[in-house]
Structure 1
Amino acid sequence: MSTIGSRLREERLRIGLSQEEFAAVGGVLRRAQSNYESDERSPDARYLTAVAELGVDVLYVLRGIKAGHGGEAPTATSFDADERELIEDYRQLNPAGKASLQAFLTSCFNSGVMLQTDDSPRRAKRLAENRMAGLDERSADILRRAKAMIDEHRATQGGRKARQPKGNSSDPD
């Protein structure tokens, strides 16, 4: 049975971000993201609103209903950047180009050669810069801002750990 955590993980991998990157966008730490994906905790509305900005299908995460099912039309944000680009490219083709592409896709489905066979979603092992290149500009900006906030948080946490409590100084007076 699919859970909120497993569907959240599936959406994160579909978008192509690491737990840390996705957590930064949601305004939480990586550990919280891990807890969400393992169903140890549930994400709150603020987090879900933030990750929806990247194109996460929140209805799917919460209820298991994909956008476009149940009578609702898919929105532009229900597709990842690659899917949106494919749709935009397809719309620029003339009728012969569209027919050729449809014939190619039909041959892929019929042969089964290029179909995904593993049900478990996996994030491609890519460098962070390559993942950023795969995002649209708005999503990349959201991710950059979120990562800067996480870096700032880490810097302040590191400063706290470096301080010693009063009275524990090893310098003799």
Structure 2
Amino acid sequence: MIEIFTTGGTIDKVYFDALSEYQVGPTTLPDLLRENNVHVPHRVTQLMRKDSLELDDADREAIRAAVAASDATQVLVTHGTDTMAVTGRVLQSVAGKTIVMTGAMQPASVRASDAEFNVGFALAAVQTLPPGVYIAMNGMIFDPARTVKDRAGARFVAES
């Protein structure tokens, strides 16, 4: 059983019109998985609905505690991309589990989103990687301890 925790971020953002502010809405992950015919045993738990820039140490501890308390050894966490690596570093204190974090640069609700690809890639990664914490974005696997978001390039890069 793969445990999937959602925390919000761009993947779950909802825009009401071209001029409106966004809101982080209810997770779309169960619909995305169903629409893509995903049959791997999983359960989805929405932990919070926050932009990752709004996450604080208490939120990161709540994510860490939920992952640590899960009976699953394979855990996928959807997360906003701006501070994904920060939370990934906190999750490195959880031993004996394969933890993969992913998100999207565009909301799952928009046609040109990378959400479906990233979630599918992360689902494959969590089933095949050894225990540890990883970021799975845009077809690449990163170590959160040595990764940063390249805002201009809209991608993750390994720190040099």
The TM-score bracket by the shorter chain reads under 0.3
Higher share in helix: 1
Structure (1 or 2) with the greater strand fraction: 2
Return the index of the structure with the highest Cα Rg: 1
Higher relative contact order (CA 8 A, sep 6+): 1
